[in-house]
Amino acid sequence: MTTILLNGVERDFDEDPSMPLLWAIRDVAGLTGTKYGCGAGLCGACTVHVEGKAVRACQTSLSAVEGKEVTTIEGLDPEGNHPVQVAWRDLNVPQCGFCQPGQIMQAAAFLGETPKPSDEEILAAMSGNVCRCGCYQRIVEAVRHASTGI
Amino acid sequence: MLNYLEPLIESAVANVRLAKVTRRGVLGTTGAFALAAYAMPARAFDTYATGAASMEHGLVEDPMVFVSIDAEGTVTLVAHRSEMGTGSRTSIPMVMADEMEADWARVKIVQAPGDEPRYGNQDTDGSRSMRHHIQMARKIGGAVRTMLARAAAEQWGLDPAQVTVEMHEVKAPSGQSLGFGELAEAAMAQPVPAHEDIAYKSEDQFRYIGKGEVQITDLHDITTGNAIYGADVILPGMKCAVIARPPVVGGKALSFDATEALKVPGVESVHELPYASMPTQFAPLGGIAVVARNTWAATQGRDRLEIEWEAGPHGGYSSEPYMAEMIATSEQPGTVARDQGDFDAALAGAAKTFTGTYTQDHIAHIPMEPPAAIASYTAEGLEIWAPVQSPYTTRKDAAKALGLDIGQVTVNVTLLGGGFGRKSKADFVTEAALLSREVGAPVRVQWTREDDVKHSFYHTTSVERIDVALDESGKVTGWRHRSVAPSILSTFAPDEGNVLPLELAMGMTDLPFDLPNIRCEHGKALAHTRIGWFRSVSNIPHAWAIGSCVGELAHELGKDQKEMWLELIGAPRSLDLKQAGLSDDFWNYGEPMDEFPIETGRLANVLNVAADGIGYGQDLPEGEAIGLAVHRSFVSYVACAARVKVVEGRITVPEMHMAIDCGFAANPERIQSQLQGAAVMGMTVALHSGITFEDGAVIQSNYYDYDVVRSDNFPAVVTHIVPQPFSVHATGVGEPGVPPVSPAIANALFAATGERRRHLPMGTEA
Ligand code: FES
Ligand code: FES
């Protein structure tokens, strides 16, 4: 049994403790905003926050987050109005949208730590998140846009 | 530290601001080339023929099928095309809403299930959504607005011509008004007016069309994690399945042992699926499926399967010898597909000749969302939820595989986390359907990224050889292009190594150059894997070869790239099929040639726009240069000007200008996003995308050996959209941005380093 604080609510997972957090979130908790893209820590689609830090949920076992605070895209802001989410909407960033929850979670954690990033810092922070549709230009601009509002 | 970061960001900002704030800027950047804008008829628009009518199940233009209005005034519009990122689920309804004078804020979009007899063709492919539906959407919107006006006029005892419709309201001259909701019932009871009887908006009256100010339909859901993709539907009692598929197409398991797999907690059962042999069509490859309580258990179970595979007839497929064989074929005369003038005579009389051979590995689409689908089989029938580009084909395929009547199958279309042609082929959906029947419960099939990389319907691998004859003065007198590539046809019919004429018509036989002697030939190549289509299809290798060859000729002749291109394109004219040695029914992306001619003036124009935009001709520092390429595909014209900069031995592309002439631009903001995306995907094709085979199996597996362009090396794209009135027909946008990118990068790389690369992918090292 693993207990985590998922989006502010305590939740027990009666699963193999080696199960990646990604599948616990998606298949067990039924929160599908966190995406599977590679299962190997290479694409960032599964990015969530653990204690406020961006982690790849596909590379994090349930046991590693025992007793910790886990936030998914659904829990980032009660109204969905985190400055990063607002910036994403202001710039009409997505194409297919599939990578975007991961991009947003990555950007939100990054800006939490680095509220006024340089351009180099933005590019480096976001380079682990693949967007096959190629929205990078708008993603980077949205991060800058959000950084003026955090 | 990469020192190109500053201009990259600056440029990105400028561009986004153009789109968001000064919309005129997006269109205005090409102002010098604008046609005299917006002299339009005030009433009915002139309709024109497209290929829509000849698509399977054609076009449905009945407003009753696509529009409903409730008593509160909510206008519900049906999106019948799949949304995979191009914006069709926003843009087509937006056109309807505009003609209807509906307030976009009060419009709701619902997704149609796969039902072509009801909605018309739903195959979201070929950059056809706007091209085939802009007239239909205007007609439907205009018809509903007319019906609302007539219903109000009837109530007021007025002539319908006396009332106006504006932003969800019908108004009388007296100032009286009725909302859409109040009129809904009476309006929907009106007869549907004929096209001639509808007073359409003039272009200056458009509220949303052409503005690019509408947010995409699913924006809020996407940014909050509530958007539903293929794997996101949760059904009570649903099982999760992953499948071990034969590494070689046409292979099968000789034996397998599931003992250890079944010991994994959560694994419930293991099933062998029927195997496919080539031509597979869209049938699943077969294999051993592990069904479990969750995806993790299923993948753990699959890892523990012991399987002895038999490779089958394609176990000898290895890319290296195959490529050598294709090159040898390209050195021999092939089957002639276009013969204009006398190339042999031109070659015999040439003062000088040039030969370039350009090759390409396979490509896998790797949409961000790997294939996933949900199926629920019960006594009543089969219900499917899936991210598919062609839901009606999916429905037919699933019905056939399970021996059901098509009426017993429902296909609900989720959002697609990218498609690029992969999700036209619903093998993964049929897998879920078969397994649901087997286990008697709803099943979700999840492909891992490795599954996706290793079991795709691959973009063809190819050899393109171009021989050029030149006279004393350095003028090109003859052009022969030989193409050798396994064909898409091999996925559908017994393979004889021949390509489809339409594959050649994608940028090879439709060559618009002003040359007296042109010959196009193709050689045989037998397929040993499933060949599919990838965003822009055969245009990629053809544009790659032609564009690279133009760059090489420029260098050989001491001309600049732009001059060389313009000389070859020649004077503005429409390609004369007869003179070109092509048949009257030459394939033109399914469009009538008289309505969508091949216009060299538009081709040259976009090249000029992109070149001027990037400042072609400027002096650049050592290790930095601009490359140009232009290509017509999907009846659109796109030029790419790419600035390549070698930074610490690494190829970077800090800046790209993409210029498109896609006729009337219904939603410039989504056109811009498609071109930004095409620039990135084109650059990925240029530098990264290579799928290769060894003993019949794909070598690559995941992003570590099949990578893509990322945010640390994306091009800042400036998009130029040539402004055109509605009378210049809307064409394709999703695909045509990709083909010119790789030759532009290759030409820039050569100019920067003096090294010519003739194989895709070129690699990331300079
Ligand atoms: S799914 Fe976790 S990094 Fe790709
Ligand atoms: S928006 Fe499609 S992958 Fe990023």
Please give the angle made by the CA atoms of A119, A125 and A129, to the nearest 5 degrees.
Answer: 120
**A27, A58, A60, A103: residue to mutate for ligand 1 pocket, most atoms within 8 A of CB:** A58
Chain segment B129-185, per-residue pLDDT in tens: 999 999 999 999 999 999 999 999 999 999 999 999 999 999 999 999 999 999 999
- Whether residues B5 and A129 touch (CB distance < 8 A) is answered with no
User: How would residue B354 be classed by pLDDT, with cut points 50, 70 and 90?
Assistant: very high
User: How would residue B42 be classed by pLDDT, with cut points 50, 70 and 90?
Assistant: very low
pTM given for the model: 0.95
- Rounded-to-integer distance, Cα B554 and Cα B468, Å: 12
What secondary structure, in 3-state letters, does B104-116 show? HHHEEEEECCCCH
Distance (Å) from the alpha carbon of A37 to chain B's nearest alpha carbon: 6
Chain segment B414-455, per-residue pLDDT in tens: 999 999 999 999 999 999 999 999 999 999 999 999 999 999
Whether residue B765 lies inside any domain: the answer is no
The pLDDT of residue B39 is above 80: no
What secondary structure, in 3-state letters, does A34-74 show? CCCCCCCCCCCCCEEEECCEEEEHHHCEHHHHCCCEEECHH
| Cβ–Cβ contact A69 with B under 8 A | no
Choosing from B422, B446, B470, the residue where a domain stops is B446
Question: What's chain B's average pLDDT?
Answer: 94
Distance in Å, CA B666 to ligand 2 centroid: 22
Contact present, B713 and B652 (Cβ < 8 Å): yes
Chain A residue with the nearest C-alpha to that of B366: A132
Find, among B738, B730, B736, the residue nearest to B52 by Cα. B730
The pLDDT of residue B35 is above 80: no
- Rounded-to-integer distance, Cα B373 and Cα B384, Å: 7
| Contacts of A9 by beta carbon, 8 Å cutoff, 6+ apart | none
Q: Is residue B161 domain-shared with residue B295, that is, in the same domain? A: no
Q: Is B561 helix (H, G, I), strand (E, B) or coil?
A: helix
Whether residue B452 lies inside any domain: the answer is no
For residue B32, give the DSSP letter. Answer: G
Length of chain B, please?
766
Contact present, A97 and B679 (Cβ < 8 Å): no
Residue B279: cis peptide before it, omega within 30 degrees of 0: yes
Instruction: Give me the DSSP letters along chain A.
Output: -EEEEETTEEEEE-S-TTSBHHHIIIIIS---SS--S-SSSSS-TTEEEETTEEEEGGGSBGGGGTT-EEE-GGGS-TTS--HHHHHHHHTT--SS-TTHHHHHHHHHHHHHH-SS--HHHHHHHHTTS--TT--HHHHHHHHHHHHTT-
Nearest-by-Cβ selection for B679 from A38, A127, A134? A134
Q: Is residue B520 domain-shared with residue B595, that is, in the same domain? A: yes
Contact present, B525 and B319 (Cβ < 8 Å): no
Q: Is residue B394 domain-shared with residue B510, that is, in the same domain? A: no
Distance (Å) from the alpha carbon of B68 to chain A's nearest alpha carbon: 27
Q: Is residue B552 domain-shared with residue B441, that is, in the same domain? A: no
Chain segment B291-315, per-residue pLDDT in tens: 999 999 999 999 999 999 999 999 9
Q: Calculate mean pLDDT across residues B737-755.
A: 98
The pLDDT of residue B9 is above 60: no
Q: Is residue B717 domain-shared with residue B749, that is, in the same domain? A: yes
User: How would residue B43 be classed by pLDDT, with cut points 50, 70 and 90?
Assistant: confident
Nearest-by-Cβ selection for B224 from A37, A73, A127? A73
Please give the angle made by the CA atoms of B402, B406 and B410, to the nearest 5 degrees.
Answer: 90
For residue B44, give the DSSP letter. Answer: S
Whether residue B451 lies inside any domain: the answer is no
- Look up residue B711 and give its two tokens: 């945010």
The pLDDT of residue A72 is above 50: yes
Residue B761: cis peptide before it, omega within 30 degrees of 0: yes
Q: Is residue B466 domain-shared with residue B566, that is, in the same domain? A: yes
Q: Please state whether beta strands B164-166 and B107-111 pair in parallel, antiparallel, or not at all (unpaired).
A: unpaired
Q: Is residue B632 domain-shared with residue B684, that is, in the same domain? A: yes
| Contacts of B734 by beta carbon, 8 Å cutoff, 6+ apart | B86, B127, B129, B535, B634, B674
Q: Which residues form the domain of B284?
A: 232-313+371-446
Strands (E), B321-403: 335-340, 352-360, 372-378, 381-386
* Residues in A touching B236 (Cβ below 8 Å): none
Chain B residue with the nearest C-alpha to that of A128: B710
Chain segment B682-720, per-residue pLDDT in tens: 999 999 999 999 999 999 999 999 999 999 999 999 999
- Count of domains forming chain B: 3
Instruction: Give me the DSSP letters along B182-214.
Output: HHHHHHHTSPPPPGGG--PPPGGG-SSTTT--P
Q: Which residues are bridge partners to B376 per DSSP?
A: B383
- Whether residues A140 and B711 touch (CB distance < 8 A) is answered with yes
Nearest-by-Cβ selection for A120 from B5, B87, B234? B5
Select the residue from A92, A122, A131 to test the B interface by mutation, using most B Cβ atoms within 10 A: A92
The pLDDT of residue B277 is above 60: yes
Q: Check if B419 has its Cβ closer than 6 Å to any atom of ligand 2.
A: no
Chain segment A48-70, per-residue pLDDT in tens: 999 999 999 999 999 999 999 99
- Rounded-to-integer distance, Cα A39 and Cα B55, Å: 39
CA dist B138 → B132, B592, B662 (Å): 12, 21, 18
Q: How far apart are the first and last CA of chain A?
A: 37
Contact present, B245 and B285 (Cβ < 8 Å): yes
Chain A residue with the nearest C-alpha to that of B294: A27
Q: Check if A42 has its Cβ closer than 6 Å to any atom of ligand 1.
A: yes
| Cβ–Cβ contact B86 with A under 8 A | yes
- Whether residues B676 and A134 touch (CB distance < 8 A) is answered with yes
- Rounded-to-integer distance, Cα B548 and Cα B536, Å: 18
Helix (H) or strand (E) holding B100: helix B88-100
Instruction: Report the Cα B129 to chain-centroid distance in Å.
Output: 10
Q: Is residue B209 domain-shared with residue B288, that is, in the same domain? A: no
Helix and strand element counts for chain B (H, E): 22, 27
Contact present, B151 and B183 (Cβ < 8 Å): yes
Residue B33: per-residue pLDDT: 29
- Look up residue B662 and give its two tokens: 């896609």
Ramachandran angles phi, psi of B703, nearest 5°: -60, -20
Cα Rg, chain B, nearest whole Å? 27
Ramachandran angles phi, psi of A87, nearest 5°: -60, -40
- Rounded-to-integer distance, Cα B206 and Cα B214, Å: 13
- Rounded-to-integer distance, Cα B433 and Cα B137, Å: 34
The pLDDT of residue B256 is above 80: yes
| Contacts of B334 by beta carbon, 8 Å cutoff, 6+ apart | B482, B483, B484, B521, B522, B523, B524
* Residues in A touching B640 (Cβ below 8 Å): none
- Look up residue B215 and give its two tokens: 């947010």
Whether residue B87 lies inside any domain: the answer is yes
Q: Ligand 1: which atom is nearest the Cα of residue A47? A: 2
Instruction: Give me the DSSP letters along B303-343.
Output: HT-EEEEE-GGGTT--HHHHHHHHHHHHTS--EEEEEES-H
* Residues in B touching A43 (Cβ below 8 Å): 368, 449, 703
Residue B11: per-residue pLDDT: 35
Residue minimizing CA distance to atom 3 of ligand 1: A41
User: How would residue B541 be classed by pLDDT, with cut points 50, 70 and 90?
Assistant: very high
Whether residue B50 lies inside any domain: the answer is yes
Q: Ligand 2: which atom is nearest the Cα of residue B367? A: 3
Could you say which residues from 92 to 131 on chain A have a Cβ atom under 8 Å away from some Cβ of chain B?
92, 94-101, 104, 119-120, 123-124, 126-131
Length of chain A, please?
150
Q: Is residue B543 domain-shared with residue B435, that is, in the same domain? A: no
The pLDDT of residue B6 is above 90: no
Side by side, the strands of the sheet bearing B476-484 are B335-340, B517-523, B476-484, B462-470, B352-360, B759-760
| Amino acid in the structure at residue A29 | A
Residue minimizing CA distance to atom 3 of ligand 2: A131
Q: Is residue B570 domain-shared with residue B640, that is, in the same domain? A: yes
Choosing from B224, B251, B277, the residue where a domain stops is B224
Distance in Å, CA B676 to ligand 1 centroid: 24
Residue B30: per-residue pLDDT: 30
| Cβ–Cβ contact B557 with A under 8 A | no
User: How would residue B484 be classed by pLDDT, with cut points 50, 70 and 90?
Assistant: very high
Residue B8: per-residue pLDDT: 32
The pLDDT of residue B26 is above 60: no
B105: phi > 0 → left, psi -120 to 50 → alpha, else beta; which? alpha
| CATH code, domain with B593 | 3.30.365.10
User: How would residue A148 be classed by pLDDT, with cut points 50, 70 and 90?
Assistant: confident
Contact present, B104 and B217 (Cβ < 8 Å): no
Longest dimension (CA), chain B: 83
* Residues in B touching A101 (Cβ below 8 Å): 222-223, 225
Q: What percent of chain B has pLDDT over 70?
A: 95
Handedness of CA B218, B222, B224, B226 (dihedral sign): positive
Residue B1: per-residue pLDDT: 23
Q: Check if A93 has its Cβ closer than 6 Å to any atom of ligand 2.
A: no
Residue B192: per-residue pLDDT: 97
The pLDDT of residue B611 is above 50: yes
- Look up residue B690 and give its two tokens: 């290579």
Q: Is residue B299 domain-shared with residue B390, that is, in the same domain? A: yes
For residue B120, give the DSSP letter. Answer: B
Distance in Å, CA A22 to ligand 1 centroid: 9
The pLDDT of residue B396 is above 50: yes
Whether residue B101 lies inside any domain: the answer is yes
- Rounded-to-integer distance, Cα A28 and Cα A22, Å: 10
Choosing from B417, B446, B475, the residue where a domain stops is B446
Neighbours of B664 (CB within 10 A): 18
| Cβ–Cβ contact B710 with A under 8 A | yes
Contact present, B686 and B741 (Cβ < 8 Å): yes
The pLDDT of residue B407 is above 90: yes
Q: Is residue B219 domain-shared with residue B108, that is, in the same domain? A: yes
Least confident of A117-121, B8-12, B131-135, B666-670: B8-12
Q: Calculate mean pLDDT across residues B655-666.
A: 98
- Rounded-to-integer distance, Cα B266 and Cα A14, Å: 12
